[in-house]
Amino acid sequence: MKHRKTIKQAAQTIPVCKGRTYELQIDRLGTSSEGVGRYENFTVFVPNALPGENVSVIIEEVKNSYARGRIKQILHESVDRVAPLCELYEECGGCQLQHLSYEAQLRAKRAQVVDALTHIGKLPQIPVMETLRAEEPWNYRNKMQFPIGRNIGKIVIGCFAQGSHRIINTENCHIQRAENNDLANAAREIAEQLHIPVYNEDTHKGVLRHIVGRVGRSNDLMAVIVTATKQLPRAKDFVRMMRERLPNLVSVHQNIQTYRNNVIMGRDTQLLWGRPTIIDSLGRLNFHISPRSFFQVNTRQAERLYEQALAYADLHGTETVIDAYCGTGTITLFLAQKARKVYGIEIVQPAILDARKNARDNHVKNAEFIVGDATAVMPALYKQGIRPDVVVVDPPRAGCTETVLRTFANMKPQRIVYVSCNPATLARDLAILKGLGYLAQEVQPVDLFPQTSHVENVCLLKKQK
């Protein structure tokens, strides 16, 4: 009974009610780039609101520790607010920051990193550099993954609306390369003309699920038609019509995804026409890109990211380096240009096969790629007498487990270079590494995804004496 009373008392302290309007001062941006304000010291998240703005907000959701609302009126507008370039911006969930000037986006992304280090890692003393800007903050994405659906009887292809699976028909996505937009528009017209059934995720019936596009540096275009069935009706006509409409098209695949889930691509891919891969480049290195290969979506900024990682590694030609999450070997091959020997470790076997092929194609002979979990492979290398001078790690958004971090520390490298796509897990892991004797020297944010809330970071850690 006492417990119920406590809950009731806590609920009574919430100062906002659903459906009512309140005036807020927005203090900062949240991790998803929503505005964050407080009403009587109670946190309220407001999409599309900016720091420094006074806004009138209608509360739409109330939880025990926070609420969410939508802007009813902007009472005082930020000097950094700009008109979004995209006419679909208010509906679409693909971008979050088009209403914020690019200079302010760069400041906000640095602030996101500082906030994570301060409040999650308890490491406010780590220097955070100014965010490395993109020379081209528009039309940078070399990879497109658009769902296919129907709306009022017509085929639609584009981004999902914010927080839903409703597809916004997108003819000109301003962060996609032009070739990908051309592909999406051609696929929509052809599917309509050929009367190919579109997949319905509620009934699990239909054929076409997604259209995936990949563009190389030389503007070569790969198309991947993702289907819910093993057969693509009128496949030859589909390919012929795409070739007629898309002069840069060099490769057409069908990917089969029969499962009832939100995973975009399945395991089986068939080449319908053209080359099996397209080629992209990072610096002096060329990479074969297949339909399921991992490759950074912003090629120019990926180069800057890897160049920063290489600078932090501080290689002089005598060092041994371990790349603990090597993927298809992009960072590994960058490091191999200046190291004596580099070991790339990756648990996904197809990625290692791609990495070995990339090494052969680029005539890199001082890189060795190993399939396995870093927590098992690295101790085995240590037992063989391998002593890395530098460990490089580029984990997924979830970051590293403490076991993995201890494995790094046990190898006793002089430097650890941590590449991260998530400031929160980076801050957490840097705090753990500090306890293991590795102190972060500085963090360099890099803007790989302009107009969105995401920020990549490179951090240098040194072994403490």
346 is in an annotated binding site: yes
Pair 207, 350 in one domain: no
Residue 13: inside a domain: no
426 and 365 belong to one structural domain: yes
Same domain, 335 and 365: yes
Whether residue 438 is found in the same domain as residue 388? yes
In a domain, 108, yes or no: no
On whether both 451 and 368 belong to a single domain, the answer is: yes
User: Distance between CA 50 and CA 46 in Å, rounded?
Assistant: 9
pLDDT reported for residue 93: 81
Q: Kindly state whether residues 244 and 387 are assigned to the same domain.
A: no
pLDDT in tens, 63-80: 999 999 999 999 999 999
Tens digits of per-residue pLDDT, 407-446?
Answer: 999 999 999 999 999 999 999 999 999 999 999 999 999 9
Token output for 240: 């012929």
Main-chain dihedrals φ then ψ at residue 41, nearest 5 degrees? 65, 20
Question: Is 441 in the same domain as 303?
Answer: yes
Strand partners, 155: 150
Tokens of residue 203, six digits: 């009934």
Q: What DSSP string runs through 438-450?
A: EEEEEEEEE-SST
Q: What pLDDT does residue 74 have?
A: 97
CATH code for position 326: 3.40.50.150
Residue 287 lies in a domain: no
Tell me 291's DSSP state.
Answer: T
Q: What is the pLDDT of residue 22?
A: 97
Domain membership of residue 289 (yes or no) is: no
Element (H, E) at 43: strand 42-46
Residues 183 and 148 in one domain: yes
25 assigned binding-site residue: no
Instruction: Answer whether residue 5 shows pLDDT above 70.
Output: no
Residue 343 DSSP one-character state: E
Q: Is 296 annotated as a binding residue?
A: yes
Helix (H) or strand (E) holding 307: helix 299-313
**19 pLDDT higher than 50:** yes
Domain end point (choices 76, 92, 109): 76
Structure tokens at 318: 């005598």
Mean pLDDT in residue range 37-52? 95
pLDDT value of residue 12: 55
Q: Are residues 228 and 147 in the same domain?
A: yes
- Which CATH number do you get for residue 44? 2.40.50.140
325 annotated to bind ligand: yes
Provide the token pair at 32: 């998803």
The model's pLDDT over 349-358, given as tens digits with 9 standing for 90+, comes to 888 998 999 9
> Which amino acids are annotated catalytic?
421
In a domain, 106, yes or no: no
Rounded CA separation 444/132 (Å): 8
Which of these, 262, 238, 150, 139, lies nearest to 200 by C-alpha position? 150
Tell me, yes or no, whether 246 lies in a domain: yes
- pLDDT exceeds cutoff 60 at 4: no
In 306-436 the beta strands, taken as DSSP E runs, fall at: 320-323, 341-346, 367-371, 390-393, 415-420
Q: Is residue 368 part of a domain?
A: yes
Give the pLDDT mean for 156-180.
93
Mean per-residue pLDDT for 321-341?
95
Q: Are residues 232 and 129 in the same domain?
A: no
Cα separation of the two ends of the chain:
56
228: left (phi over 0), alpha (psi -120 to 50) or beta: alpha
- For 254, the token pair is 């069908």
Q: Token digits for 146?
A: 């658009």
Domain count, the chain: 3
Burial class (CB in 10 A: 0-12, 13-18, 19+), 186: buried
Q: Based on the fold, state whether residues 216 and 123 are members of the same structural domain.
A: no
List, for residues 110-137, the tens digit of each pLDDT value: 999 999 999 999 999 999 999 999 999 9
Q: Are residues 317 and 458 in the same domain?
A: yes
Domain of 268 in residue numbering reads as: 143-276
Model confidence at 7: pLDDT above 70: no
What CATH number did the domain enclosing 219 receive?
A: 2.40.50.1070
Strand runs (DSSP E) across 122-207, as ranges?
Answer: 143-151, 154-160, 167-169
Q: Is 202 part of any domain?
A: yes
- Put simply, whether the predicted model's pTM sits higher than 0.95 gets the answer no
